[in-house]
Structure formats: C-alpha cells, structure tokens
C-alpha cells in the first residue's frame, strides 16, 4: 500500500489513481497536461465531439497533443456526443472517478450573440444533457467537474440548477486558474477562430456528486410507523372524519405530506 501511495501523482483535483473521463476536449491540451503530470495516461479517456478530420481542421494544434496522449497510453475517442455518451459502445462499459468538462459550449451561431435567448437556451440544453448522461457514468464516490465562467452572460445558463435537476449535488466550487495546468490552451466553441483562446475571468470549477444517503435522510426523523399513522390521518382528513367533526376538519386543507410532518394551506 505504501508503494502505491508513493507512486500516486496529483495535479489540482486529479490523481493518477483516478479513472478520468475528459469530455468535449478542444485541442486535447488539457488531457495532455494531466497525462504529463501523471507520467502516464492509462487511467484516462479523452474525448472530442468532433471527428478526427474535423478536429484537425478546427484545432490543428491538437496533432501534437494526440501524439503525446497515444504515447502515454490514453484512450482517445472522437464523435462523442454528451447527449448519449453513456450509451457509447466503449464508454457504456465504464465507470469513472472523475468526469471533466471544461467550458462547455453549444457552438457559435453567426445569427446570435452570446446574450441571445436562443443561444442561451442551447447552452442550457447542452448542460442538461451532459449532467443526465454523466450521472450514469460516475462511480458511487465519483465526481463530475465543470469549469465555467461565473459572470454575464454565462450565469444565465443556470449550471447549478441544471445539475440539481439531474439529481446531482454540488459539493464544492473552487476558482479555476489556467496557470495550474501548464500547456493548457482553452479553445473557442467553433467558427473561423475556433483555435483561438478566450478570456478566462471569474472562472470556477463546479464539483458535483451523486447524493449520499445521509443527505437524502438529513433532517428526517419520521419512522416508518409514524409515516403509516400520518398517512392514515391524511386519509381521514380527506374524508372529514379525523376529528369526528366535519366542521372542524373542513377548515383544514392539507397541502402535502412530508417526511418531517405536515404542511397546511
């Protein structure tokens, strides 16, 4: 065990002992940074939405990084869509300790600026699909990391809300510094300048996990027996017989039955 710990290498939130999936890579410079830090990429799967040919056209700087990843043993997959990656022929057989999506973007559209409601809608849809799919792919104690700008108009994407709707829990939010990842060059989402970077200001890495049992049960002190009693009372209230007096019960309108008790209108 001591030998394993000694050989384990870290870079920020990522360890060489983690099984890591990288989603939506641009020129694969982030994957290459991790691989160099670990001294091996056998624990990594790096993916792009683009095909291999499209990648060379959009991000010609990817060629060198892909060669490095191959040399270090990384599994590289192209044409991976976040909407259904959990059904991918290879990925569907895997579980990951970390799933990483840096600066997700639904793609530029010459018809719309970044603040346009339609483009924001597309970004929201992309995030919702990613969280839903990645939820099926993380290990029990795994984490999903999304690095994202936390200023206008990007806050309109409602990143945290989208994760909650997918059944995920925010466990941490840490500032993202590009300098922490030597050799990493963030890339634009498409268009004529797709191989150029964009300003990384007010950026954070949002960390999500599956909800723990303790979180699900937190604050709930209602036993199974109590719940049965409350359910019976609820039925009696609906029929107007809980107090043996229809006039008394008719003034009380149960709104819902919670594990922690009753709510009334």
Looking only at the bridges linking them, the beta strands covering 138-149 and 169-175 are: unpaired
The per-residue pLDDT for 128 is 98
Among 107, 88, 133, residue whose Cα is nearest residue 50: 107
Average of per-residue pLDDT across 124-130: 98
What are the backbone dihedrals phi and psi of residue 168, each rounded to the nearest 5 degrees, phi first?
-110, 160
Nearest to 147 by CA among 100, 106, 105: 100
Fold of 12-216: Rossmann fold (3.40.50)
Residue 77 has pLDDT above 90, yes or no: yes
* Domain regions of the chain by residue span: 12-216, 219-264
Instruction: Give the residue from 113, 128, 199 showing the smallest Cα distance to 160.
Output: 128
pLDDT in tens, 203-219: 999 999 999 875 545 44
Overall residue count recorded for the chain in this entry: 265
Q: Determine which of 62-66, 115-119, 215-219 has the lowest per-residue pLDDT on average.
A: 215-219
How many other C-beta atoms can be found within 10 angstroms of the C-beta atom of residue 133? 21
Q: Which ranges of 87-203 does DSSP label H, i.e. alpha helix?
A: 117-135, 159-165
Taking residues 10-37, report their average pLDDT: 97
What are the two backbone dihedrals, phi and then psi, of residue 74, each rounded to the nearest 5 degrees? -75, 140
Q: What is the mean pLDDT of residues 133-137?
A: 98
- What are the backbone angles phi and psi of residue 208, rounded to the nearest 5°? -125, 155
Mean pLDDT for the chain overall: 83
Q: How far is CA 90 from each of CA 12, 23, 135, rounded to the nearest angstrom?
A: 28, 14, 16
Whether pTM > 0.75 for this model: the answer is yes
Nearest CA among 120, 132, 204 for reference residue 164: 132
Distance (Å, whole) CA 97 – CA 120: 30
Residue 243 in this model has a pLDDT that exceeds 50: no
One DSSP character per residue, 71-85 reads HTT-EEE-S--TTSG
Measured from the Cβ of residue 213, the count of other Cβ atoms closer than 10 Å reads 7
Q: In the predicted model, what is the mean pLDDT of residues 95-124?
A: 91
């Amino acid at each position: 065990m001591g030998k394993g710990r000694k050989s384990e290498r870290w870079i920020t939130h990522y360890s060489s002992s983690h099984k890591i999936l990288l989603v939506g890579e641009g020129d694969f410079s982030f994957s290459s940074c991790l691989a160099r830090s670990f001294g091996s990429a056998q624990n990594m799967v790096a993916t792009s939405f683009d095909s291999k040919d499209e990648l060379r056209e959009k991000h010609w700087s990817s060629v060198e990084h892909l060669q490095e990843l191959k040399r270090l043993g990384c599994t590289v997959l192209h044409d991976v869509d976040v909407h259904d990656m959990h059904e991918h022929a290879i990925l569907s057989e895997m579980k990951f300790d970390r799933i990483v999506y840096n600066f997700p973007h639904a793609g530029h559209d010459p018809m719309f600026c970044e603040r346009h409601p339609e483009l924001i809608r597309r970004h929201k849809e992309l995030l919702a699909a990613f969280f839903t799919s990645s939820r099926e792919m993380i290990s029990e104690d795994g984490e999903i990391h999304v690095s994202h700008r936390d200023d206008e108009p990007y806050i309109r994407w409602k990143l945290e809300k989208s994760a909650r709707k997918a059944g995920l829990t925010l466990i941490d939010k840490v500032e993202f510094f590009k300098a922490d990842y030597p050799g990493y060059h963030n890339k634009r989402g498409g268009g004529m300048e797709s191989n150029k970077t964009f300003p990384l200001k007010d950026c954070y890495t949002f960390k999500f996990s599956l909800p723990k049992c303790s979180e699900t049960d937190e604050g709930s002190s209602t036993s199974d027996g109590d719940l049965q009693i409350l359910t019976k009372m609820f039925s009696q209230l609906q029929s107007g017989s809980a107090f043996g007096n229809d006039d008394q019960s008719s003034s009380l309108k149960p709104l819902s039955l919670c594990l922690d008790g009753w709510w009334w209108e």
